[in-house]
Structure 1
Amino acid sequence: MKLSILLSFFSSLALAAPVLETRQQPTLCSPYGYWSGNGYELLNNLWGQDSATSGSQCISLSSSSSTGVSWSTNWTWTGGKDLVKSYAYSGKQIAKGKLINNITSMPTSVSWKYNTEAVRANVAYDIFTAADPNHVNSYGDYEIMIWLARLNNVYPIGGDLGIRSIGGRSYNLWIGMNGNMKVFSFVAVGNQYDWNGDTKLFFNYLRDNEGYPVATQNLIVFQFGTEAFVGGPANMTVSKFTAAVN
């Protein structure tokens, strides 16, 4: 297991006990500062900040509606170049009891940009599923990540099984374990700054090719964000994130 990719499991564990900040406060700088509205949420998830020698991060809401959110995050981290400091994200709020087998589509779109790529970071969707529909949202039985970008040699957990085609795009599929959670990471071949697609297609692929149990797994979280290692000052702007579960 590479030190640089302990991100998936440990980033998930750190979601416990978020600090609720009021909706009148669109900029969240405290660890686990949280906002929700219109069926979406933001979290300033500074789960790995203790591995930094110095640094800070905030996440700011720009706008929100029932059709999506716009937001940005500013960060600077030094020390522990192979250790993730944070996963600031936007997420679609999920109703409990959504079996993957009963979901017909999970359409989503995002447009994002960094003001600098001289950082160690990734930009990725993160999705957890579990057999228990009431499972905590900090981890799951399975994790499915869709990496739209990897900046300066950061890698997913596990091993690279080679290129797969999903929805007409090419991804390197990585598979590994974090404790008892199995992680599937689809890493886009070439950074994708404007992306839209049906993430249910990834589950269909895993059902047909990797034995993923769609009939017993429930959707727990459906998120998009960036995992920051070191660098900055850096700013990532998400001009629009939309997601739905049908």
Structure 2
Amino acid sequence: MLSKLTTLTTLLAALSTASPLPTSPTTPLLRRQAATLCDQYAYYAANGYEFNNNNWGKGSASSGSQCTTVQSTSQSGVSWSTSWTWQGGQDNVKSYANAGKQFSKGLKISNIRSMTTSITWDYQPRDLRANVAYDVFTAADPNHATSSGDYELMIWLARIGGVYPIGNKVTTVNIAGYNWDLYVGPNGSMKVFSFLPSDGSWKFSFNADVKQFFTWLAQNQGYPINDQHLIVFQQGTEPFTGGPAKYTVSNYNANINL
């Protein structure tokens, strides 16, 4: 009996030594789930990024739900996903689950040197109505509520299932090495500039300086760049109808350089 206990103890000690558990959530051997967000406006923040389930339009659905999962965060970027099913109100946005870059209030767009970002994402399945887009609010008041702004800049990486942006197409332009159709229209009191890939492609990998869009708008669309402050700098997806569907971001980063 004593020899069996000794053998078992020795074996357990050997296994523990051979396969130690990671002691840090950033250890590359283990990707720990950071948070699951299922309440309407469930929120999580870490390492300079913030996440919101943001089911702001769920009232227009006849049925459905959505949960957002934060997989990992670091100073160099994040990975996350959102899963949803929405029915009814096919032309109404149900949510904007997103990852946003945190920053100090009071940043004037004209004083920002660059807003560099990159992303790699996927949607499964793809038989749905949704978009994948960056969403940036600016306002003259640096303390403006983060739920809106004076101006809204959207950069669509995908238009799925025949959905359309706010407003009407006004021109086609090349910015940051991509060709875009620009739509302009009102969202409440905000003026919205939406850039969509002019060839209809889905940009599963995207790398750009968002400041270039603001510079172009200032030069060509009367955007008051010297009077506007950055309110939110986000990336996510707007579901209309479909599902069960899952939007997965394997890597996203954003940087604001002064």
Output the TM-score relative to the length of structure 2.
Answer: 0.85
Q: Is the 8 A contact 1:94 1:220 kept in 2?
A: no
Which of 217, 223, 240 is the aligned partner of 1:206? 217
Q: Which amino acid aligns with 1:234?
A: A
Gaps of 5+ in 2: 1-32
Which of 201, 204, 209 is the aligned partner of 1:193? 204
Q: Is the 8 A contact 1:34 1:41 kept in 2?
A: yes
Matched, 1:35 2:35: no
RMSD: 1.0
Task: Name the larger-Rg structure.
Answer: 2
Q: CA deviation at 1:179?
A: 2.5
Gaps of 5+ in 1: 1-23
Match of 1:133 in 2: 142
Share of identical aligned residues, percent?
Answer: 57
Which of 87, 96, 106 is the aligned partner of 1:97? 106
Q: CA deviation at 1:180?
A: 2.0
Counterparts of 2:91 and 2:188 in 1: how far apart (Å)?
20
Q: Which runs of 4+ in 1 moved over 3 A?
A: none
Deviates more, 1:183-192 or 1:55-64: 183-192
Q: Is the 8 A contact 1:163 1:171 kept in 2?
A: yes
Q: CA deviation at 1:177?
A: 1.2
Counterparts of 1:180 and 1:56 in 2: how far apart (Å)?
29
Q: Is the 8 A contact 2:34 2:71 kept in 1?
A: no
Once the two structures are superposed, the pairs formed by residues 143-154 of structure 1 within 5 Å of their partners are 143-154=152-163
Match of 1:61 in 2: 70
SS in 1 for 2:216: helix
SS in 2 for 1:156: coil
Which of 122, 125, 131 is the aligned partner of 1:122? 131
Counterparts of 2:225 and 2:90 in 1: how far apart (Å)?
37
Output the TM-score relative to the length of structure 1.
Answer: 0.89
Match of 2:246 in 1: 235
